[in-house]
Amino acid sequence: MAFVVIEEGESIESALKRFKRRVQQEAIIKEIKKHSVYFKPGEKKRMKEALARKRMRRRMKREKDFEY
């Protein structure tokens, strides 16, 4: 759990900035979003395969551009 100790004389804005940075570093929001929706195992597999195809197309396009 992310928390920030406010130092004496520190503004709320700077403490809030530090808190937001800490939450982002600990990937709390990413984890919450990941668990907010349930995907069936088959659906997960299809999404994973689609991402792999997308990465491969991108890689092939990059290699093709470097050839010339």
pLDDT score of 40: 94
Angle between helices 12-25 and 28-36 (to 10 degrees): 60
pLDDT score of 32 more than 80: yes
pLDDT score of 68: 61
Model confidence at 65, in pLDDT bands (50, 70, 90)?
confident
Q: Are residues 1 and 18 both part of a single domain?
A: yes
Q: Are residues 31 and 58 both part of a single domain?
A: no
What is the number of structural domains in the chain? 2
Residue closest to 2 by CA, chosen among 35, 31, 44 = 31
Q: Are residues 2 and 32 both part of a single domain?
A: yes
Query: What's the domain range around 43?
Result: 38-68
pTM value? 0.48
Q: Are residues 21 and 44 both part of a single domain?
A: no
pLDDT score of 29: 87
Q: Are residues 21 and 33 both part of a single domain?
A: yes
Which residues make Cβ contacts (< 8 Å) with residue 14, sequence separation at least 6? none
